[in-house]
Structure 1
Amino acid sequence: MGTRASERGRPRPRPAGVSYTKRIVIVPPDPTWPARFQTVARQLRDALGERVSGIHHIGSTSVSGLPAKDVLDVQLTVADLGTANDVLALLAALGLTLRPEVTADHLPPGLELPPADLAKRYAHRPGELHVHIREEGRFNQRYALLMRDFLRAVPAARDAYAEIKRQLARLQPADTEAYYAVKDPVMDLLIAGAEQWAARTDWHLPPADA
């Protein structure tokens, strides 16, 4: 959810920015996910200070009631992605693994966007944490937050997405290529509904979670 990536900014059938495990394991919603995020967010804020303007909990673990892989997704917002190297160095000092080859997010079909609107930087703690660095006001920074808030606000969309994830994990538990080849187009369909919801509700970017 807002975390798909392409190493060169082109549409791809799977997220290059997320490390694969041998199996796709979707677990029931875990009530500890918000608290785990807050612990991570405090560590990030203490380390990064004002280098980031916002720290947000994104992805499926940020949506109450949504099954997910047991890995947190965090979005760090920066004023200028050109300064991200300083942030990445501090993330490395916290023990995260840097993925310098990941430089852009997935482009939904039918959209024409400048490369800067998809640019990102990425680091992770495999099996535990994904950290996405995006520039304030860019398409990809907004996408992750809009999708999160839409799924939080519209239970029917959340539950339909949950069922798709469960069935994909059941049918393709060891084939991550197949899992993401289906999941990514589903997300592209969901964002169309999210944009309609945003227009109807006058949605705006939310304040930082930390």
Structure 2
Amino acid sequence: MPTRAEIIAFDDSPPPPGADPWVPGAAPGTGIEMTEPDPGWPQRYEELAARIREVLGWRVLQLDHVGSTSVPGLPAKPIIDIDLVVADPGREQDYVPALEAAGFTLVIREPWWYGHRALRADEPPRSNLHVFGFDSPEPVRHRIFRDWLRGNPDDRDRYADIKRQAASEANARGEHVMEYNARKEQVIREIYQRAFAAAGLLQE
């Protein structure tokens, strides 16, 4: 399990020299599609979760609906974000072939960043599936952020505003999704600080 210090710290270090997180043939997409909240998103997560659990079985140590589609009332790209925790994300043979058979495609490999892998499902329901190890702090942060936004409408609305602004600016400049994410980063970190403080994680 990650420590308190690991949860409240963010690893912003760049990839190692010459490293590319995108697997051959994959690249970040442009054209940020922002849609209004859809009450059907939780059900789409359940459909995807059932598919993942069916092919991975007990290799699923934890599975969570995260990201904007997991927060009622929040606009989002119509793509279901899911965190999958496995014993060792570096052992791709333990989960990637099974997920590929279930309609997912490996697009990102970042062993230097919490062992992160990402797979994408383009057939409805569309999904980004993020894979981490059990000792990674990132899934913990994602759940804290999700739950904070669910319980704090003011921060949810503030995040909605920056999402719409970031999408508009990124689309106007032809930027890709990683640049869109960067435009939201300052507001995200400010919200995290309030969530961490409320959870008692910032106490010495």
TM range (shorter): 0.7 to 0.9
Of 78, 84, 87, the match for 1:76: 84
Q: Which residue of 2 aligns with 1:124?
A: 120
Change in CA separation of 1:36 and 1:159 when aligned onto 2, cut-off 3 Å? same
Unaligned stretches of 5+ residues in structure 1: 106-117, 201-210
Is the 2:22–2:108 Cα contact (8 Å) retained in structure 1?
Answer: no
Q: Alignment RMSD, CA only?
A: 2.9
In the TM superposition, residue 77 of structure 1 has moved relative to its aligned partner by 1.2
The 3-state SS of whatever aligns with 1:67 is coil
Which amino acid in 2 is paired with 1:143?
R
Q: Which residue of 1 aligns with 2:64?
A: 56
Is the 1:77–1:135 Cα contact (8 Å) retained in structure 2?
Answer: yes
In the TM superposition, residue 187 of structure 1 has moved relative to its aligned partner by 1.9
Distance (whole Å) between structure 1 residues aligned to residue 83 and residue 14 of structure 2: 18
Q: Which residue of 1 aligns with 2:6?
A: none
Distance (whole Å) between structure 1 residues aligned to residue 133 and residue 179 of structure 2: 30
Of the two structures, which has the highest relative contact order with CA contacts closer than 8 Å and spacing of 6 or more?
1
TM-score, reference length from structure 1: 0.75
Unaligned stretches of 5+ residues in structure 2: 1-10
Is the 1:124–1:130 Cα contact (8 Å) retained in structure 2?
Answer: yes
Distance (whole Å) between structure 1 residues aligned to residue 29 and residue 104 of structure 2: 17
The 3-state SS of whatever aligns with 2:84 is strand
**How many residues are aligned here?**
181
In the TM superposition, residue 133 of structure 1 has moved relative to its aligned partner by 0.9
In the alignment, is residue 94 of structure 1 matched against residue 90 of structure 2? no
Q: Which residue of 2 aligns with 1:207?
A: none
Amino-acid identity (%):
33
Which amino acid in 2 is paired with 1:199?
G
Q: Deviations over 1:157-193 (max 9, x none)?
A: 1110001111222233232364233112322222211
Which amino acid in 2 is paired with 1:141?
P
Which amino acid in 2 is paired with 1:63?
V
* 176-185 vs 55-64, greater mean Cα deviation: 176-185
Is the 1:74–1:132 Cα contact (8 Å) retained in structure 2?
Answer: yes
Change in CA separation of 1:155 and 1:16 when aligned onto 2, cut-off 3 Å? farther
Write out aligned runs for 1:1-210 (5 A). 8=15, 20-103=28-111, 105=113, 118-126=114-122, 128-173=126-171, 174-176=174-176, 178-199=179-200
Change in CA separation of 1:26 and 1:179 when aligned onto 2, cut-off 3 Å? same
In the TM superposition, residue 197 of structure 1 has moved relative to its aligned partner by 2.1
Distance (whole Å) between structure 2 residues aligned to residue 44 and residue 5 of structure 1: 30
In the TM superposition, residue 199 of structure 1 has moved relative to its aligned partner by 1.9
Regions of 4+ moved over 6 Å: 4-7, 15-18
In the TM superposition, residue 76 of structure 1 has moved relative to its aligned partner by 0.7
The 3-state SS of whatever aligns with 2:164 is helix
Distance (whole Å) between structure 2 residues aligned to residue 85 and residue 100 of structure 1: 15
Is the 1:165–1:183 Cα contact (8 Å) retained in structure 2?
Answer: yes
